[in-house]
Amino acid sequence: MNVGVLVSGSGTNLQALIDRHQRGDLMPAQLVVIGANVPDCSALSRARQAALPTFVVDHRDYPERPVFDRALVESLRSHQVDLVVLAGFNRLLGRELLDAFPGRVVNIHPALLPAFPGVRAQRQAFEAGVKIAGCTIHFVDHGVDTGPIIAQAAVPVNDDDDEEALRLRILAEEHRLLPAVVRAIAERRVVLEGRRVRVLGAAPGTEPLRSL
Ligand code: GRF
């Protein structure tokens, strides 16, 4: 399964995917292209460092979202992408892209959805005073962080945490969970049943999609 990753920022989740890919541990998923909307983001440097093909579709060149989406679709299709992974991609996607990859776009969000959707999720969780936080990987639908949930990982919120400590604890779980989900999708073990997602058993010797 050919995977295209869309990024905008530091790219630590992308790096987790690259590391697994380089170890041959993402199979049968193949990272085929990394696309960014921010031309100088660190994520792109990580992709280039790993000698992966890249493209840039700068949203500032596309004031109209459908045209921006179509440019993304064109670039992804030109690399025969089957699965689109949003790994810190900071633009909302519209119908053009979602219809081009039906049920084939996943996002990682740094909160236990449906709590704390949208921006600065870790801060929202921290300020709400929750005792358990975490991350969610979900299929992308037309809402903001509303699509069917594939996997979640929880972390404690400690009394002496600040927001940054919490962000880093969640991020470590993101790095574990995202490659495992991408691999499970490529192994066709992730089945969408209406709003619910069923993850079928892992082959012996491969790690299960542990949520806790
Ligand atoms: C992560 O926290 C991810 O959950 C969110 O954006 C952040 C991206 O971080 N969607 P990085 O670019 O992967 O380091």
Residue 205 scores a pLDDT above 70: no
- Measured CA to CA, the distance from residue 112 to residue 128 in angstroms comes to 13
The whole-number pLDDT of residue 206 equals 65
Ligand 1 atom 10, closest CA: 88
pLDDT digits (tens, 9 = 90+) for 58-106: 999 998 999 999 999 999 999 999 999 999 999 999 999 999 999 999 9
Tokens, residue 171: 């991020």
Residue among 45, 84, 171 whose CB has most ligand 1 atoms within 8 A, to mutate: 171
Residue 201 banded pLDDT, cuts 50, 70, 90:
confident
Residue 196 has pLDDT above 90, yes or no: yes
What pLDDT is attached to residue 41? 98
At the topology level of CATH, where does 111-212 sit?
Answer: Rossmann fold (3.40.50)
Domain ranges of the chain: 1-102, 111-212
pTM of the prediction? 0.96
Query: Does domain 1-102 sit in CATH 3.40.50.300?
Result: no
Atom of ligand 1 nearest to the CA of 108: 4
Residue 203 pLDDT greater than 80, yes or no: no
Q: Do the domains at 1-102 and 111-212 have one common CATH topology? A: yes
User: How far apart are alpha carbons 12 and 42 in whole angstroms?
Assistant: 9
**CB of 43 closer than 6 angstroms to any ligand 1 atom:** yes
Of 12, 138, 177, best ligand 1 pocket probe by most atoms within 8 Å of the beta carbon: 12
Instruction: Tell me, in angstroms, the distance from the centre of ligand 1 to residue 87's CA.
Output: 6
In the reported structure, the alpha carbon of residue 204 is separated from the centroid of ligand 1 by a whole-number distance in angstroms of 30
Q: Where are the beta strands (DSSP E) in 37-120?
A: 54-56, 83-86, 105-109
Q: Is the CB of 134 under 6 A from ligand 1?
A: no
Which residues are paired to 59 by β-bridges? none
Q: How far is the CA of 146 from the centre of ligand 1 (A)?
A: 17
**Close Cβ partners of 131 (under 8 Å, ≥ 6 residues apart):** 156, 157
Q: Which one of 109, 138, 142, 175 is the catalytic residue?
A: 109
How distant, in Å, are the alpha carbons of 10, 32, 107, 117, 169 from that of 151?
23, 24, 11, 15, 17
Cα 36 to Cα 147: distance, rounded to the nearest angstrom:
22
| Whether 109 is catalytic | yes
**Structure tokens, 207:** 């790690």
Does the pLDDT at position 210 exceed 70?
no
Nearest to 172 by CA among 122, 125, 113: 122
